[in-house]
C-alpha cells in the first residue's frame, strides 16, 4: 500500500507514468468511466477548499466510484477532540482511499502511519501540496511540451505557499530548470528549501523583488496569493496582500509564449482583465487537476485499464 505525502514519494519515472495516464484519460475518458466501480474515496478536509476537494470528488465519480467525507473540522468529531490517527482508523473501515487536508504540517503523515488505506496529502499547512504539483506538472508538460529547459518565475508568498514548495521539490529533478524567485523580503522562500533543495541540487536561481524585472526573462510565471490564513497578525497581511498585481500593462513586458499559472484561489494578484489573454492558463490548469487526480487514484488503488 502506498501513500502520497510529497511529490518526492514518486520517482521521475512514476511521475511521468501518472502524467501519461492523465493525458490518456483526457483523450479517452469513456475508457475509464467504470474503472473504480464499487470503490469509495473519503475526502477528509479540516481546512477550506474548492478545487482540491471537488476535483478529487469529480475524479472518483468520473471513474465510476463513490465519495464520502467532510469539508471542515467543524462537521467532524475533531471538534469533540478525536485525533487524526483515530479518525483514519475509522475511515479505513468505510473507504478504499482517502485525501486529507489539514492546517497542521505533517497531519496526513500521522494519518498514513495508522491507516489501512492509501492516504493522499491534499495540503498540510505551509508544507506540501503534492496533488497541486501533479496538476502543475501536467499543465506545463501538456502546454509547453516539456518539463526541462525552462525558466520559471515563482511570484508572491514564497514563504507560506505550500504549492511553491512542492513544485520546486518536483522540478529540481529535471534538466535545465532555472528559477526566478519574486517576492517581498518578508515572504522570501524559506532557507530549508533554498539551501536544502535548490543549492544542494545545484539549481540556478535569482531572487528579485520587482515582477517587472523578471517578466521578460520567463517561460512561465507561477503566481500565488498571499496566504492570509498563515499570518500571525492582520496588519502584516494587509501590508503584503496587494504587493503584486499582474495586469495587462505588465503583461506587455512578457514574451508571447510565457504561460501564467496559478494554483488558485486568486485574490487580487492577477487582474481579471488578464483572464482573456491566451497566455493565462490557470482555469485550464484546474481542469488538468481532475485528470491527474483520476490517474493518481488509479495508480494508488493499482487499478489497470486496458
Active-site residue set: 51-52, 80, 101, 129
- 151 belongs to the binding site for ligand CP (CB under 6 A): no
Whichever of 43 and 299 has its CB closer to ligand CP, that residue is 43
265 carries a ligand binding annotation = yes
Burial of 68 (0-12, 13-18, 19+ CB in 10 A): middle
- 51 belongs to the binding site for ligand CP (CB under 6 A): yes
252 to 281: interface string for ligand CP, x by CB under 6 A: -----------xxx----------------
Residues β-bridged to residue 119: 98
- 285 belongs to the binding site for ligand CP (CB under 6 A): no
**Which residues fall within 8 angstroms of residue 101, CB to CB, at 6 or more apart?**
44, 45, 46, 47, 49, 52, 53, 122, 123, 124
Cα separations in angstroms, 75 against 60, 70, 72, 128, 298 = 22, 6, 6, 24, 29
- 183 belongs to the binding site for ligand CP (CB under 6 A): no
- 176 belongs to the binding site for ligand CP (CB under 6 A): no
Is the separation of the CB atoms in 55 and 290 below 8 Å?
yes
92 to 131: interface string for ligand CP, x by CB under 6 A: -------------------------------x--------
- 49 belongs to the binding site for ligand CP (CB under 6 A): yes
Burial of 188 (0-12, 13-18, 19+ CB in 10 A): middle
Q: Which residues form the interface with ligand CP (CB under 6 A)?
A: 49-52, 123, 132, 263-265
Binding residues for carbamoyl phosphate: 51-52, 101, 129, 132, 264-265
Amino acid at each position: 500500500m502506498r501513500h502520497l505525502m510529497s511529490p518526492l514519494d514518486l520517482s521521475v519515472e512514476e511521475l511521468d507514468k501518472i502524467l501519461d495516464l492523465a493525458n490518456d484519460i483526457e483523450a479517452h475518458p469513456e475508457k475509464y468511466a467504470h474503472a473504480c466501480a464499487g470503490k469509495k474515496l473519503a475526502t477528509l478536509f479540516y481546512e477550506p477548499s474548492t478545487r482540491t476537494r471537488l476535483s478529487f470528488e469529480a475524479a472518483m465519480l468520473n471513474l465510476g466510484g463513490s465519495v464520502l467525507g467532510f469539508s471542515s473540522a467543524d462537521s467532524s468529531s475533531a471538534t469533540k477532540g478525536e485525533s487524526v490517527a483515530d479518525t483514519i482508523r475509522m475511515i479505513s473501515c468505510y473507504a478504499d482511499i482517502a485525501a486529507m487536508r489539514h492546517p497542521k504540517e505533517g497531519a496526513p503523515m500521522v494519518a498514513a502511519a495508522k491507516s489501512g488505506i492509501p492516504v493522499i496529502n491534499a495540503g498540510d499547512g505551509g508544507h506540501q501540496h503534492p496533488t497541486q504539483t501533479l496538476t502543475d506538472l501536467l499543465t506545463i508538460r501538456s502546454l509547453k511540451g516539456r518539463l526541462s529547459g525552462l525558466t520559471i518565475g515563482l511570484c508572491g508568498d514564497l514563504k507560506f505557499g505550500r504549492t511553491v514548495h512542492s513544485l520546486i521539490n518536483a522540478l529540481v529533478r529535471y534538466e535545465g530548470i532555472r528559477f526566478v524567485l519574486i517576492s517581498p523580503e518578508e515572504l522570501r522562500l524559506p532557507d530549508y528549501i533554498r539551501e536544502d533543495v535548490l543549492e544542494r541540487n545545484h539549481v540556478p536561481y535569482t531572487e528579485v523583488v520587482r515582477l517587472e524585472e523578471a517578466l521578460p526573462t520567463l517561460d512561465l510565471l507561477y503566481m500565488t496569493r498571499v496566504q492570509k490564513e498563515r499570518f500571525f497578525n492582520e496588519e502584516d497581511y494587509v501590508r503584503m496582500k496587494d504587493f503584486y498585481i499582474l495586469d495587462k500593462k505588465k503583461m506587455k513586458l512578457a514574451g508571447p509564449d510565457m504561460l501564467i499559472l496559478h494554483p488558485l484561489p486568486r485574490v487580487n494578484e492577477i487582474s481579471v482583465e488578464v483572464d482573456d489573454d491566451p497566455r493565462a492558463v490557470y482555469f485550464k490548469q484546474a481542469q488538468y487537476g481532475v485528470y491527474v487526480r483520476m490517474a493518481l487514484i488509479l495508480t494508488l488503488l493499482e487499478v489497470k485499464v486496458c
